[in-house]
Amino acid sequence: MSRPTRRPPSPPSLWKALTVLACALGCGDAKEATAQPGTAVAKSPASVAGAALSAAPSGVVQAAPAAPAAARTGDHFVFDFVDNRPLGHALSGGHLVVLNGTPGFAKYLRFAKPKVSWTLAKEKDGQKVAIADGYANFDLPVTAAQVADATALHLRAFVAEKRKVAIKINEKDAGSIELSGTGWQTVSIPLAAGTIKAGENRFQMISGKPGTLTVAFMQLGGAAPGEKGPALYDAGAQSLALAKGEGVAFYVQVPEKGAVAADVAGAGCTLSAKFEPSEGAAISGTLTGAGGAVDLSAAAGQIGRLTLTADGCDRATFKGGLTQPGAAPEVKKDAKPKNVILVIQDSLRADRVKPFWPKARPDVPNWEALAKTGTIFRNTYVQGNESRASHASIWSSQYPVNHKMIVDGAKLDAAKWTTLGEAVKKAGFNTHGESANGYIIAKWGFGEGWDSYQNHIHDGGGVKGEQVQDLGLKVAEKMNAKGKPWFLYLGLIDTHVSWRAKEPWISQYSPKYTGKYKTQASGQDVEAMATGKLKINDADKEHIRAIYDSNVSYQDKLLGDMFEKLKAWGVADDTMVVITADHGDEQWEDGRVGHGASMRETLVRVPLAISYPKLFPAGTVYEGADTVDILPTIMDAIGQPIPADAQGESLIPIAQGVGRGYPRPSISSQYEFAHAMRLADWKVRVGGSGIPLLFHVEADPLEKTDLADKRPVERRFLTDVFSTFLVNQRNWKKTKWGVPSNLKPGFNADLEK
């Protein structure tokens, strides 16, 4: 049960904070196990297909709605252009056009704190607009081909009074213009040669008084546009729409054996498709009529810019996306579990558990057995990097920005949100909780819905894992005898400080150590290490890591004991078991020990496995997941509606293959001062500066090398998704909106109103 004893008052001081100190009440200080630098692991099988799409006749009457997508017999879409239009970059004559009034504007906004510097989703004289603050920020991606002609920034703007607008680009003064008239006008701010660079460019628009500059669209480069920018979407046809010479670009990852497919309407209309990977040769082709496709399989797994440009007619409408071979999977939910167990192993890092990081040191035979029968969610993030915030997201299926357990003294508002115990209890389950995490009690908002509950910090019973689990299973056995469905929560803290060595594993992992910490690293000592008051040597650090690893193996043994009990009671086949952690721990990889003080993989990536083969088939899901998804998953599994206020989604579909084949993000927050998102093998972190850091976390799991400037395509692939989420996170509901890398129709339906 962990939290810092001191909460940073501001983002700058947050980044200076060296560590999270030991948790009062003994539920867990932090420390993490050594990540395995450079270890090769299986890549997410970017499964798509270079499926040959059957050609259908063209010749549709120009300007007619796009024909319904032909019945697909050889492939299915994994990324839909129409649904994901907010991630598309509008182009006119090859020049970037920013549609400020659309939901897609979010992808250009800086991750500045404390708020976005634009007022979004407004309307002026029938036009969708955004209203600039006095200092309004945005970032624009510019290709090498666009740089030469980026000689002006054009604005379609409304002002109620005369106003000067100045522009800074990449932190340098870049020009200004006087808006001498009032009302709507198209103005151009000249930009000197060399102002714009290939890659990301950071803009600041300075207009003085906030709220006095209303912008419908902006265009970078080219001749001054007219009164209207590209439409991009035809609501009547429910299709993307491009005039001749207009285009749209998506930053995507090509699925394995992937293709880009589209049904194009309009006599003589064509779409040129060009995929430019971050590295390697471009792939080009042409889409016409219905059923057209361009094979991208040679670029499978690569991230790049996919540009679609209209030609051959005045206006083309089209539907399409990225495909993979085979029929789309279908969800089957025929067999509901009678019982559910949720096990949270406090402070357990994913990179210390072999199914999640194959070269991890600890022996975990029960985790490995589970990986052969259950579903492993390999890239799972917690939503808070310490116990209170993380548990609050698990309990409520809310991101920290909403549940607000991000300041000292805050509690989960259980009356406001449908919480875990409450939801399962209302479904007719007997409920019991057994935890050694001192924060997970009614005082902090975790008390709803329990028939019985014992917290071993406050109520006694011992904090060793077997003491917690044995008492919990005794209650479960009694509930089982009553014949009603039951739900059991077990909160174990052996991998949380204080760390106490467990045999026989410590003798295996560190047999020669004879120093001060041979049997234990107490919370008080680790707190002193974290604050620099206690200096220890490398041998001490390595042995403390071994103590941690001995507890990873010890908790694995407890899992085996639990499954044996279920078999003995005859309920193993009827019981769904969810196993995860509330956060990881840092163990000096970057100078810190503990949790709460960073957004590193060692802290935010945790194991998540679900054992219930009737709904969760054996296999590994490489697409991202969040622990905010646990409550919706449990409710969906037991055949109950997902709470209307839940922000997460059920993991049953993705476990059964629905939504697989295209990257999905994992997202975490550090008290809302900093955020992190993983997408495929890449990760972006951003703090109070608003400047994203980019890491290839499969090759660089300790996040030592920032590649943001060197890999602008991958950076934009992530920031399109990340900024879209952060701007809208208060209202995000995955069940309706999808995930920010792969949107559902509900996102546009709600935000385009």
Per-residue pLDDT tens digits for 60-86:
222 333 334 444 568 999 999 999 999
CA–CA separation, 135 and 140 (whole Å)? 16
pLDDT in tens, 624-667: 999 999 999 999 999 999 999 999 999 999 999 999 999 999 99
pLDDT tens digit string along 411-444?
999 999 999 999 999 999 999 999 999 999 999 9
pLDDT, averaged across the chain: 90
Assigned token pair, 447: 């008390």
- Asked if 146 contacts 140 with a C-beta cutoff of 8 angstroms, the reply is no
In terms of Cβ atoms closer than 10 Å to its own Cβ (0-12, 13-18, 19+), residue 572 is middle
Query: Which ranges in the chain are annotated with CATH 2.60.120.260?
Result: 95-220
What is the distance between the alpha carbons of residues 696 and 723, in angstroms, rounded to a whole number?
19
Across 209-218, 547-556, 564-573, least confident range: 209-218
Span 313-330, average pLDDT? 96
- Residue 112 has a pLDDT of 65
Mean pLDDT on 618-629: 98
Q: What is the arithmetic mean of pLDDT over 283-306?
A: 97
The predicted structure's pLDDT at residue 658? 97
What does the alpha-carbon distance between residue 288 and residue 427 come to, in Å, rounded to a whole number? 52
Domain 95-220, architecture per CATH: Sandwich (2.60)
Q: In the structure, what pLDDT confidence band is assigned to residue 96 with cuts at 50, 70 and 90?
A: very high
User: In whole angstroms, what is the distance from residue 648 CA to residue 397 CA?
Assistant: 6
Tokens of 729: 């996170």
Give dist(CA 384, CA 647) in Å, integer. 15
Given a cut of 90, whether residue 16 has pLDDT beyond it is: no
| Domain 75-86+231-325 sits in CATH 1.20.950 | no
CA dist., res. 145 & res. 276, Å (int): 12
pLDDT reading at 537 higher than 70: yes
DSSP letter, residue 269: -
CA-closest candidate to residue 571, choices 651, 637, 655, 473: 473
Would you say 117 and 132 are in contact if contact means Cβ atoms under 8 Å apart? yes
**What's the pLDDT score for residue 43?**
36
Best CATH choice for the domain 11-35+338-751 from the list 3.30.465.10, 3.30.530.20, 3.40.720.10, 3.40.30.10: 3.40.720.10
**pLDDT at site 116:** 86
Secondary structure (3-state) at 728: helix
Phi/psi at 319 (5° precision)? -125, 145
End-to-end CA distance of the chain: 43
- Position of tokens 């090398």? 705
Strand-pairing partners, residue 288, are 270
Type and span of the H or E element at 743:
strand 742-743
DSSP for 584-641 reads: --EESTTS-EESSS---HHHHEE-EEEEBTTTB-SEEE-S-EEGGGHHHHHHHHTT-P
**Residue 473 is which amino acid?**
L
Q: Name the percent of the chain lying above pLDDT 70.
A: 90
DSSP assigned state of 689: T
| Tokens (6 digits) for 445 | 């908002």
Q: Say whether pLDDT at 27 is over 80.
A: no
Task: For 285, list phi and psi in degrees, rounded to 5.
Answer: -170, 180
pLDDT category, 210, cuts 50, 70, 90?
confident
Please report the pLDDT score of residue 407 as a whole number.
Answer: 85
The pLDDT of residue 113 is 63
| Residue 32 clears pLDDT 60, i.e. is over it | no
Q: Report the predicted TM-score, pTM, of the whole model to 2 decimal places.
A: 0.91
pLDDT of residue 5: 28
pLDDT 10s digits, 34-59: 333 222 223 333 332 222 222 222 22
* pLDDT, average across residues 135-164: 95
Q: How confident is the model at residue 114 (pLDDT cuts 50, 70, 90)?
A: low
What is residue 667's predicted lDDT score, i.e. its pLDDT?
98
Containing 455, the helix (H) or strand (E) segment is strand 452-455
383-392 burial string, b = 16+ CB within 10 Å, else e?
bbbbbbbbbb
Closest to 28 measured CA to CA, from 540, 600, 618, 582: 582
pLDDT reading at 29 higher than 60: no
The full DSSP string for 38-66 is T---PPP--B---PPPPP----PPTTSPP
Q: Does the structure show a pLDDT above 80 at 208?
A: yes
- d(C-alpha 517, C-alpha 654), whole Å: 44
Provide the 3-class DSSP secondary structure of residue 403: helix
> Kindly report the CA angle at 396 between 393 and 399, in degrees rounded to 5?
40
- The answer to whether the beta carbons of residues 387 and 415 sit under 8 Å apart is no
pLDDT > 80? residue 291? yes
Q: Report yes or no: 378 and 356 within 8 Å, Cβ to Cβ.
A: yes
Q: How many whole angstroms separate alpha carbon 416 and alpha carbon 430? A: 23
Amino acid type, 503: E
The pLDDT confidence band at residue 115, using thresholds 50, 70 and 90, is: confident
Q: Are the C-beta atoms of residues 528 and 534 closer than 8 Å to each other?
A: yes
Left (φ > 0), alpha (ψ -120 to 50) or beta: where does 311 sit?
Answer: beta
For residue 72, the model assigns a pLDDT of 57
Sign of CA dihedral 170, 171, 176, 182: positive
674 forms beta bridges with: 670
Across the range 617-626, mean pLDDT stands at 98
State the pLDDT at residue 753. Answer: 86
For 397, residues 6+ apart whose C-beta sits below 8 A from its C-beta are 417, 418, 628, 629, 630, 631, 632, 643, 645, 646, 647, 648
